Chain A
């Protein structure tokens, strides 16, 4: 080796130290960057060269690449935990909102109104001829109506906000997916042709986006051979290479936001992440709180009206409704037919919802109880005839096309139409007999005793038991969501701690390395100086 070769060794030492210092600098700069994985320079011995005497002499150091401290297993755990935490965060927030609507602890709920309503009937029963008792009864009934409607309106607003959040979040998913696809493109370009080198910074950026995406939805991802990442959602590709497929949010006929990828509805497949949480919370609120409240109000309307109709007012009038009568809501999908439904016998009405479906020939119909799943009526449909089942008459106008389906629900409008039908206190039917006015109050007693009656439509529970059940459910799901949020948060903290120890930047470690490479840089420089002095010596000969 010539003396000039020493320059090269010194130079390689300088370059290696410089590269390491740059990486350390980058690590320190990114100490607080989310998702950043610590990097270090991989140093390698340069190929030796043959010196004088045929011996192989070392030729310094080269940098073979920059390595990212990355544990695939921990990253996978982290991604999953982000999904769980996202779900429990949404559930806690949304179900916590629903719980506040049923918060009888702060006097917001319906229990007080229900008890006061039935107590007011007892007051009327005790003094059936008293005017003030009747006025109070109407006031208490009105408070019950107002509060029930307020609760429903709050639930509907909460659901509307949830639907809006789902749509907004779909937008964020798309932004992140686009970001990942753009990074895919850059990573593939950068890594193409480099066998051992990875675009570490870009990968860290992409990991960060994947984690953010995981917080929103239960995505799965796998890396392709070219370094690009494919992200799937609901078994469809969200990101594939450079292409991001937009997640589309649409509002269905019930006002619920549905999500689709490639025109396939994947709403039901999204279970975790904040989206999964929102979808699950929405379902729980609709199926339990909203339908529960509507069913309670519908059964109250039905039972009170039936009993009230049997009695007589001070003016001798009878067969009056106390609350505005139940109305049936209809819906359906048909090219040319529409339906109208009316209650023919209130005592037969189960307060369940029904689906009427026609077969492929458009001649046979089947009526199914949506809650029990049982078929309550079926047969051959002749145009213009009435379909009757469980106290309900349905009339269809227009031409039926094959596979038409219609729905009839006594619940949808139960709270919306809830109101006190009576305005004249004399028409309150306290008496059981027209000839025993005004002292007979047995009908008022019967109404008051409905408070303790087992109601078939409420599964045999009393009105108040049913309501307590609604409160307990709202509380239980909210408590469960809160518990799982605490658990998921702790789990995430533990996994992040593991990730930090594997990939995180320690300022102390970086500082120590900085001194190390500063010194080796100085040593390399000194070597070049010495080589220079040696050359000077030779030149001075």
Chain B
């Protein structure tokens, strides 16, 4: 009887020692679901949230990189457009001087090509301003026509929250007039009429606002720059003047696009900061749930070893005692 009790007691102590030893080896107090069912469930939830946040962070990082890259492009685009806008004023003034005319024409071409290069920027293999057609150049290099679509790519940065990472070229380089507009320039009436797609038809009418003196159309700023170059070469002052308003407007549009971009980056940064606090909190919860308190485990283990040794010594003494020992 005593023997049975002692063996069972020692077995139990050894099992407990084994359990503590496992905690020491793995550093975790939950080594299998049945160790703490609720704890395990919570730990799985925490780990799931951590993995989700990590993914959203990775998405955010990717989106942020693209948006920041776009931002540098947009800065140059804005700068180029501002230069074109200035060129319209300069060209109008220096038209009589052939040298400055040639220079301005060259400037217009340079700026047009620069704009074309910017509009056809690539991030990795992706054309930034082609909408969903990321494998297609946004603008044709000879006709300057837009070849992309109106797609906006979104990246998930949190559950149910996504951020757009691109603006289709039409929105950045084309959108000028949303309604028919009339501007009086130097006694002429200039009619800007938005047509199908992004085409804007410009009519320069005489002071009677009826006689059409000149008309042309463009779909985007690159074409505008191209027209400006030709107008400078042709000494077409009224056409140059007619381009002033669209250029001013497109400069404003680019600035708007830039600020929207900045807001997107800011949003991702804010989300990232939120994610950092959430991650810290979750890691803390996870650690509290599944990590073993090593000091406590080591102390318990020492206590248990002492108890086991005591039991071994006392049992050997107890098992020796029998009346049989006293009989001769």
Contact = CB atoms under 8 A, between A and B. Distances in A.
B135 A129 contact: yes
Interface string B205-245: 00000000000000000000000000000000000000000
Interface stretch (A167-175, A188-196, A358-366, A500-508): A500-508
A133 to B, nearest CB: 10
Given A464-B48, A474-B33, A475-B33, A438 B134 contact: yes
Interface string A416-441: 00000000000000010101111111
B40 A439 contact: no
Contacts of A151: none
A126 B59 contact: yes
A97 to B, nearest CB: 11
Interface stretch (A78-86, A102-110, A349-357, A388-396): A102-110
Interface string A87-102: 0000000001001101
Contacts of A472: 33, 37, 40-41
Interface stretch (B83-91, B94-102, B155-163): B155-163
A102 B37 CA distance: 12
A353 B290 CA distance: 38
Given A115-B48, A476-B34, A508 B40 contact: no
A19 interface: no
B79 to A, nearest CB: 27
Contacts of B179: none
Interface string A191-227: 0000000000000000000000000000000000000
Contacts of B159: 452
Given A106-B31, A111-B48, A464-B48, A445 B162 contact: yes
A430 B32 CA distance: 38
B71 interface: no
Interface string B1-44: 10011001000000000000000000010111111010011011
A108 to B, nearest CB: 9
A125 interface: yes
Contact of A471 (B5, B44, B290): B44
B149 A436 contact: yes
A511 B134 contact: no
A438 B33 contact: no
A303 B155 CA distance: 22
Interface residues of A: mostly helix, strand, loop or mixed?
A: helix
A115 B1 contact: no
A105 B30 contact: yes
Given A439-B133, A464-B48, A468-B41, A445 B33 contact: no
A356 to B, nearest CB: 38
Contact of B134 (A100, A122, A439, A478): A439
Contacts of A445: 154, 156, 162
A147 to B, nearest CB: 15
B130 interface: yes
Given A493-B8, A507-B324, A475 B40 contact: yes
Interface stretch (B50-58, B195-203, B252-260): B50-58
B313 interface: no
A100 B166 CA distance: 47
Interface residues of A, number: 57
Interface in A464-514: 464, 468, 471-472, 474-476, 478-479, 482, 489, 493, 496-497, 500-501, 504, 507-508, 511-512
B37 A479 contact: yes
Contacts of B62: 126-127
B45 interface: yes
Contacts of A528: none
B34 A475 contact: yes
A45 interface: no
| Interface hub of B5, B151, B159, B322 (most chain A Cβ within 10 A) | B151
Given A500-B1, A511-B323, A511-B327, A482 B34 contact: yes
Interface in B97-155: 125-126, 130-135, 149, 151, 153-155
A126 B153 CA distance: 8
Interface in B51-80: 51-52, 54-56, 58-59, 62-63
B43 A105 contact: yes
Interface string B281-306: 00000000010000000000000000
Interface string A371-410: 0000000000000000000000000000000000000000
| Interface hub of A105, A438, A500, A501 (most chain B Cβ within 10 A) | A105
A497 B1 contact: yes
A471 B151 contact: no
A452 B52 CA distance: 11
Nearest to B127: A439
Given A106-B32, A115-B52, A507-B322, A126 B40 contact: no
Nearest to B59: A126
A140 to B, nearest CB: 12
Contact of A438 (B54, B135, B322, B327): B135
A99 B30 CA distance: 13
Nearest to A116: B51
B24 to A, nearest CB: 16
B171 interface: no
A119 B40 contact: no
Nearest to B148: A439
| Interface hub of B8, B32, B126, B324 (most chain A Cβ within 10 A) | B32
A499 to B, nearest CB: 10
Nearest to B165: A126
A102 B41 CA distance: 12
B267 interface: no
Contact of A440 (B32, B151, B324): B151
A440 to B, nearest CB: 5
A511 B322 contact: yes
B131 A439 contact: yes
Contacts of A436: 131-133, 149, 151
24 contacts: A99-B34, A100-B32, A104-B33, A111-B44, A111-B48, A119-B51, A123-B59, A126-B59, A127-B62, A129-B125, A130-B125, A435-B149, A436-B149, A436-B151, A438-B132, A438-B133, A439-B131, A440-B151, A471-B33, A474-B34, A475-B32, A507-B322, A507-B324, A512-B323
Given A105-B31, A126-B156, A439-B133, 17 more contacts: A99-B32, A102-B33, A104-B33, A115-B48, A116-B51, A119-B54, A122-B59, A123-B58, A439-B126, A439-B153, A445-B162, A471-B41, A472-B40, A472-B41, A476-B34, A508-B323, A511-B322
The 8 A-B residue pairs whose C-beta atoms are closest, nearest first, are A475-B33, A439-B132, A479-B34, A436-B132, A478-B34, A511-B323, A119-B55, A439-B134
